[in-house]
Chains A and B, each alone.
Chain A
Amino acid sequence: MSVTWDEAAALVEEMRPLVRADGADFKLAAVSDDGWIDIHLLLDGVSCLECVLPPDLLSEMVSDSTRRSMPSCPGARLHDPRVV
């Protein structure tokens, strides 16, 4: 079963408060034909980079959220510029 753009956008919207207070944001970048979701972490407005939730926890949150809200989704790809 594929994932619609609106479903993925709703997921991103739900996650936004996790990082907004630090000036960061999530952006839905793409939903592939086979249901994979690409999410970008935007850090342009962040004054304190290390204040934003660390990459491993954010990845975990995105993974958990995807699993809970869209069990049929094959997965999400989080693009975190802090991860090298």
Chain B
Amino acid sequence: VLVTLDPTGVRRGATTERRPARRRPLAGARVGLVSNGLGRSAELLTRVYEALQKEAQLGAVFTVHKPHRSSPPAPEDWQRLLDEADIVIAGFGGCGSCSTRTVRDAMELEWEGIPSVAVVHQDMLPGVQAMTRLAGMPGYRYVVVDDSRTSICDWDDGAIESTAKSVVGEVLELLTVEPAV
């Protein structure tokens, strides 16, 4: 089976590779959480939101559950993110393509004008770095979790809570500080 690729092609679904201006403060910002369904990723994202809420008085939150780890959100969920989210947190990148796709989701949301951050595990950095580099955004920053366990399926409540607390500062920074060009 052959797929012929046009090297002059334009990325589908993306307007540009721009980075939207960060919103400061985040008070009242509506938050979209993009869960890839890996293990307890939705719980982790919720805990991150709750920790962020204490620091930044965020607005309403909703969670989008992707149909599969390596796929984007369903079209209706993608549209909801574009319509109803001021900022997005995506995760959890703790396996192969769930990591590369998670950071890709965040980058594509940035291209659509929504400040976004991806949360990934340190063991998956080679794939994540390849994704940002090959997508033309080698300097795109994301939050790296360095828990000794890669599989979020194995994380207990304490690990979820402590991980959320450990990353919230960087999540806040990436959503509020203007990125270097």
Q: Tell me the A residues contacting B by CB distance below 8 Å.
A: 14-23, 50-57, 59-68, 70-71, 73-81, 83-84
Please list 23 pairs of residues, one from A and one from B, whose beta carbons are closer than 8 Å in the complex, sorted by A's number: A14-B130, A16-B130, A17-B126, A19-B127, A22-B96, A51-B95, A52-B97, A60-B12, A62-B5, A63-B5, A63-B7, A64-B9, A64-B134, A67-B9, A73-B7, A75-B7, A76-B7, A77-B2, A78-B3, A78-B5, A79-B3, A81-B1, A84-B1
The answer to the question of B99 belonging to the interface, with a C-beta cut-off of 8 Å to chain A, is yes
- Among B24-32, B39-47, B64-72, B81-89, the one that faces the other chain is B64-72
Please report the number of residue pairs spanning A and B whose Cβ atoms sit closer than 8 angstroms: 105
Interface size class of B (residues with CB under 8 A): 20 to 34
* Other A-B pairs beyond A21-B126, A22-B97, 16, CB < 8 Å: A16-B130, A20-B126, A52-B97, A53-B101, A56-B12, A60-B12, A62-B5, A63-B9, A64-B11, A66-B7, A67-B8, A68-B136, A75-B6, A76-B5, A77-B4, A80-B1
